Chain A
Amino acid sequence: MDTTPLANGRNLLEVRGLTKVFGTLKACDQVDLTIAKGEIHALLGENGAGKSTLVKMLFGSLEPNAGEIAWNGQPVRITSPGVAKKLGIGMVFQHFSLFEALTAAENIALSLADDTPISTIAAKARALSYSYGLPLDPDSLVGDLSVGERQRIEIIRCLLQTPDLIILDEPTSVLTPQEADKLFETLERLRAEGKSILYISHRLDEVRRLCDSATIMRHGKVVGHCNPRVETPSSLARMMVGTEVKNAERTTASVRGEELLSICGMSRKPAGPFSMPLKNIWLSVAGGEVIGIAGVAGNGQGELFEAISGEALQESADAVRIRGKSAGRMGISARRLLGAAFVPEERLGHGAAPRLRLSDNLLLSRHSTDGKAFVGTGGMVKSGAIQKAAQRIIEVMDVRKSAPDPEAAALSGGNLQKFIIGRELDRNPSVMVVNQPTWGVDAGAAARIRQALIELARNGSAVLVISQDLDELFEISDAIAVMHNGELSKPIPIAEATLERIGLLMGGAEPGHLDPAKEVA
């Protein structure tokens, strides 16, 4: 089981006793890690286990309090990302490090050698992105791109630096299965060339398929090493969490309730030069059911979410109906007042204001729907009631935090997502629309979020989940519809849905509104 090799020339990176302390929290406690040349090494652990802190120290963004790092057998001090890059360490970040106001090509150019002529970069980036199977338009502005497309830029940018050690933090969470396959091929090619890869992922089957060895962290400590190929997903999960992780339990939907959310012939012009138009979308979600929307990143899911949530108004009031009322011309608060709740894709900056405390974020999203509970006479804020509600959400969703009422940005991604979902669930909405509910969220937190969504539906609410994680959609949906090129297929009941069938629709094999009955044959 113990794959730690002896300290010989084969090891690219050796870390001994690395420790990082934030205040009283030991984010990394005496961490040892050894990465051999030409191996793909997995780093596993729940959110808050210290994985990100560890790789940030390896990449020079954080300074360790104690411990040593040896690179090719030589002790080194990695004082800045520049030093890490010079050594030959490249990193793909989980939270993007892209420049929104610059084009994809300019973003890539910034991480290349200084003497690369700027005028040639667009063509080069286009060619390289296709050869890696991650196509992108080098002239598009990053600010206009979806998370999946941004992830492609991050990966390509890192690979172009030809590092010896590539750190990938959750690289596949926003890629399609096909894109992920392409990435794995690339990674395997790199391994054959003798490069090493440190691979952080919550997707245990990926880790089992790709990685040669794994280090597992829990609460800042290394709790084990293993060969993931001989483990099962549940044995890996047990090591990560310390206890058994349960899949969300899904009872079959009871009788289909009345229709609570309906979208009737919604169309939308593209909002920006790079965004997707919506083309004649029909969808109906009844109480008691969970409908999933699958699709490759950037096929109009974001635009659809904006149109349903009221961030973008429709031309016709009947395009969106919430609990039977025409809501197409209503803003977000008006739609919320009809009993709907919305959780957008971006947690920080969209779902929550990063520098505000959790209780303030709660007030921000619910001051109109829960005006009586949170706002008193004369517009005075009832801080006691808000604190209590925030505390209730934190307890129900098991949000882990370092201060009583921290700023949203201080929470890890998974914990903030639990809070944001919990904030909406706390209202008991009759219609819930969620975009990417568990992106970059660890297994334990994701299971909890999925279970909560299913329970909400079983209690009679209509739940619409937009996700690029097919496993998730298969786990929780009663029917799955696929978005491609701004069009939405008819929902396929889960009993008839197969990965292959959904995959074909995602690739645009049968655009528009296919008839499931004919398709089955």
Chain B
Amino acid sequence: MFEDILITIATAATPLLIAAVGEVVVERSGVLNLGVEGMMVMGAVTGFGVALTTGSPWLGVVAAIIVGMLFSLLFGFLTLTLVTNQVATGLALTLLGLGLSGMLGEGFVGLPGIKMSYLHIPYLTDVPYIGRLFFGQDPLFYVSILLTAGVAWFLFRSRAGLTLRSIGDNHTSAHALGIKVIGIRYLAVMFGGACAGLAGAYLSLIYTPQWIENMTAGRGWIALALVVFASWRPWRVLAGAYLFGAVSIGQLHAQALGVGVPSQLLSSLPYLATVVVLVLISRNRRLTMVNTPASLGRPFVPDR
């Protein structure tokens, strides 16, 4: 029973984690892409459709990643090359994604989907109490943990990560050092898009293997909030994603048990927690300075 609850929490947390870790990389490079929800829902519809037509959930995952990247490339072209406002463009991306996915997925509504099979290692998975938790989950769960570790290592241990953070801190200085600001931001934006697409595929291939319009249901926004909640640090994103996952599962259980807490209050908890964290970190100027990408959302036009 306890193991079951932990696994459902992991299932709720994984899509948040994947999308938010991707967005950490984007924002660390100084770009604010508010289109996570839109890229996620496009990933969900693509993953579902491709898996259904080909019969392979893995092909669905790959297609979702590609579509997420293409969508983010559109965002990148608008904000980085044409220097449009990042906030407005990100919101437009979300609206576009929600509308387009609804149209593309019209024929999929109500069809039974293909569920990705769970990992099963003989003996290990069958260990009582912890076997399924560690060795019997869906493959993307493991991907999400590796992704977090990889991004944490990349950002704070690798030279390329240092370059990326330097651009997020001060793009003018980075340009003066000869760093290709725009090129690296394109790569970061596309990585974020790929992660959002993957997170979307998780929803339509694992979480609830079917297509429902707007099935992301605000998870893209929670992922965005998580990034701030975690002060742009991957391992804190993981902690936050599991915390929010636990809250949303707890909310279901609470409703089932008829506990008198309004569900609206519970579903607003992630956002409330984000506000509290923002207040707490802004109390310490130094912490804010170290963790917040200083040029976040600011357009970069090289002085010619």
Contact = CB atoms under 8 A, between A and B. Distances in A.
Contacts of B158: 118
A116 B158 CA distance: 11
A101 B302 CA distance: 21
Interface string B205-232: 0000000000000000000000000000
A101 B294 contact: yes
Interface stretch (A35-43, A92-100, A427-435): A92-100
B179 A110 contact: yes
Contact of A272 (B170, B176, B286): B286
Contacts of B172: 97
B274 to A, nearest CB: 21
A106 to B, nearest CB: 6
A102 B166 contact: yes
B170 A100 contact: yes
Given A100-B170, A102-B165, A111-B177, A63 B286 contact: no
A61 interface: yes
Interface in B258-304: 286, 289-294, 302-304
A144 B285 CA distance: 11
A272 B287 CA distance: 11
A21 B172 CA distance: 21
A85 B180 CA distance: 13
Nearest to B304: A63
A143 interface: yes
Given A81-B178, A118-B159, A143-B289, A101 B303 contact: no
B37 interface: no
A453 B290 CA distance: 38
B177 A106 contact: no
Interface string B141-182: 000000000000000011100110110011011111111100
Interface string A304-346: 0000000000000000000000000000000000000000000
Given A61-B303, A63-B304, A102-B169, A109 B178 contact: no
B178 A100 contact: no
Given A81-B176, A82-B180, A101 B159 contact: no
A144 B286 contact: yes
Nearest to A107: B166
A108 B159 CA distance: 12
Interface in A134-167: 141, 143-144
A97 B162 contact: no
Contact of A110 (B162, B289, B292, B302): B162
A91 B178 CA distance: 12
A272 B284 CA distance: 10
Contacts of A100: 169-170, 289, 294
A361 to B, nearest CB: 21
Q: For the complex, would chain A's binding face be called helix, strand, loop or mixed by DSSP majority?
A: loop
A441 B173 CA distance: 22
Interface size on A, as a range, is 20 to 34
Contacts of A80: 175, 178, 302
Nearest to A106: B162
Contacts of B291: 101
Interface string A230-255: 00000000000000000000000000
A334 B113 CA distance: 68
B177 A110 contact: yes
Contacts of A143: 286, 289-290
A114 interface: yes
Contacts of A494: none
B166 to A, nearest CB: 5
B108 to A, nearest CB: 45
Contact of B304 (A62, A93, A106, A144): A62
A80 B158 CA distance: 25
Interface string B82-124: 0000000000000000000000000000000000000000000
B163 to A, nearest CB: 7
Contacts of A111: 177
A102 to B, nearest CB: 6
A476 B166 CA distance: 41
Q: Which of B173, B174, B175, B291 has the most A CB atoms < 10 Å from its CB?
A: B173
A273 B286 CA distance: 10
A81 B175 contact: yes
B178 A114 contact: no
Contacts of A84: 178
B294 to A, nearest CB: 6
A114 B304 CA distance: 26
Q: Which of B174, B289, B291 has the most A CB atoms < 10 Å from its CB?
A: B289
A109 B304 contact: no
A304 B158 CA distance: 39
A121 to B, nearest CB: 10
Interface string A435-447: 0000000000000
A80 B178 CA distance: 7
B159 A109 contact: yes
Given A62-B303, A98-B173, A144-B286, A82 B166 contact: no
Nearest to A141: B290
A110 B157 CA distance: 13
Interface string B8-34: 000000000000000000000000000
A111 B179 CA distance: 9
Contacts of B286: 141, 143-144, 272-273
Q: Which of A63, A84, A96, A99 has the most B CB atoms < 10 Å from its CB?
A: A99
Interface of A: 59, 61-63, 80-85, 91, 93, 96-102, 106, 109-111, 114, 116, 118, 141, 143-144, 272-273
Given A80-B178, A99-B169, 13 more contacts: A61-B303, A62-B303, A81-B175, A81-B177, A91-B176, A97-B172, A97-B176, A98-B173, A101-B289, A101-B294, A116-B159, A143-B289, A272-B286
Interface of B: 157-159, 162-163, 165-166, 169-170, 172-180, 286, 289-294, 302-304
5 contacts: A59-B176, A80-B175, A91-B176, A116-B159, A141-B290
Q: Which 6 A-B pairs have the closest CB atoms?
A: A82-B178, A97-B173, A99-B169, A97-B176, A81-B178, A101-B169
